[in-house]
Structure 1
Amino acid sequence: MHTTGHIEALTREGSALLTAAEEAGWDAEVPSCPAWRIRDLVLHTGCVHRWAADYVAEGHAEARPIGSASMPDGEVAGWFRSGYRTLVERLEAADDTLACWSFLEGSPSPRAFWARRQAHETAVHRVDAELAAGRTPGPVAPEFATDGIDELLTGFHTRPFSPVRSDTPRTLLVSTTDAPSAHWTLHLSSAAPRVERRETGAYDCRMRGPAAHLYLALWNRLPLDGVASVDGDTSVAALWQEASAIRQRTKRHAPTG
């Protein structure tokens, strides 16, 4: 996907997240983020949007902490809306010469990185809000879902502190079944996973399904059972589900860094 597409997705997902959050109510529990209520989810995501917007606008060269926020419930929606719109405006105004800190390898530019990361951050939390509202998660376009799977597998889980490890070497194949079809082969060991964007042959376990379903299952927002087929050694799939959840302050959610 191009940066423009990510910015458009961020705009849609921010609006959809807020709609679902207001439907659920600020005190609603978020089943996919234990110990969080909708208020926590929206405040967290809004702080992440402001954190990202500051990198884009001010060009900070080093990592900075994500802030926190607290306010009366009646102010949360307007505060959140202002934050994601500011992020969108700053991404639209920036160009590909932007220089600032980012944290995943392989992005063509920091602007492209922040647009992609915030689009997927917001999309996953939009699903959290919909689950809190008792809804079936809304659709995720196959191209966007495939892009998000790629970011998760080749970006987050190839970093040295990925928690997905196996004392015995294992190979996990992840394949989408819709257009565009895509494959990722994960080589699991006592080190961080090594990932190839192709089907390499023999595997111990394969997860296979529509991109949108895999996207949410790999982010632990939907159970694998029922949304994807799992062939081979199912203990490898179980290892992924148990180890891949990225936690911050003991809360399970889509990562920000």
Structure 2
Amino acid sequence: MEITAHIDALRREGGLLADAAARTGLDAPVPTCPDWRLRDLLLHTGQVHRWATAHVRDALKAPLDEDGERALLIPAPDDAGLVNWFRAGHTALLDALTAAPADLDCWTFMPAPSPLAFWARRQAHETAVHRIDADAAAGTEGPSTDPALALDGIDELLRGFMSRGRTEVRGERPRTVQISATDGPGRWLLTVGPDPLSVALTEDPAADLTLTGPARDLYLLLWNRLPAGTGKVDRAGDETLLDLWRESARIR
């Protein structure tokens, strides 16, 4: 996806998130994030938007320290102003990304074609996943994630986050998971074992577990947002690998 497409996705998903929150009580539980209420989701995502904005707008060469991060929530909004506070932070992020030069030089934490490409992509998916959480809190499914965005998000999750060597998805012996989208070109082969998770853009019909389905459902499944027994993902093989993923695939 191009940078402009990621910014457009960020605009759409952030607007949908705010709309879902505006029609839902902020004390509503978030089923996809069991420890959170809707206000926690808004505070978290709004703070992440402001955090990303600071790095892009100010071309920061190093990550904000703890004091800088705390300042993003001062003053903390009350419930009456929380949705508008979220919308303001979302708009500021869109403005920063749109105004940033193509050769922006700032801190990032995963490989990307450029810092601007990194931040546009990362915030598009941060917001898309949490929009799904907001819809869950509102008790609605919400609009379907665009297949192109879902495919891109699967790739970011697998070849970005999960390939950094920090994942806890490990096993005693090597086993493989084949992930294949039915509505796009996405094919990923994961090897889970004692070593850090590895991801290859290939197919293996003899994989220990195969997950096949629409990009949207695979996106939700891999981000642990697809409730058990729902969706259109066909599973064949060793489903203990999927249990392992649910238990240990965490983003920090």
Could you say whether these structures have the same fold, taking a TM-score greater than 0.5 normalized by the shorter chain as the test?
yes
**Alignment-derived partner of residue 131 in structure 1:** 136
Identity %: 46
Q: Displacement, 1:236?
A: 1.3
Structure 2 unmatched runs, 5+: none
- CA offset at residue 224 of structure 1? 5.4
Q: Which amino acid aligns with 2:149?
A: F
Question: Residues 1-36 of structure 1, C-alpha deviation per residue, up to 9 Å, x if partnerless?
Answer: 100000001011111001111212111111111221
Matches within 5 A, 1:55-134: 55-64=55-64, 65=66, 66-67=69-70, 69=73, 70-105=76-111, 107-134=112-139
The residue number in structure 1 matching 2:51 is 51
Matches within 5 A, 1:1-257: 1-64=1-64, 65=66, 66-67=69-70, 69=73, 70-105=76-111, 107-178=112-183, 180-223=184-227, 225-227=229-231, 228-244=233-249, 246=250, 255=251
Cα distance in 1 between the residues matched to 2:198 and 2:6:
26
Q: Distance in 1 between matches of 2:102 and 2:191?
A: 33
Aligned residues: 245
Higher deviation after alignment, 219-228 or 107-116 = 219-228
Distance (whole Å) between structure 1 residues aligned to residue 24 and residue 151 of structure 2: 28
Shift of 1:143: 0.5
d(CA) in 1 for partners of 2:52 and 2:83? 19
Cα separation, 1, equivalents of 2:228 and 2:186: 18
Contact 2:77 2:85 in 1 (8 A): no
Q: Call closer, same or farther: CA 1:226–1:26 in 2, change over 3 Å.
A: closer
How many Å separate the matches in 1 of 2:11 and 2:148?
Answer: 17
What amino acid does structure 2 have at the position aligned with 1:206? Answer: T
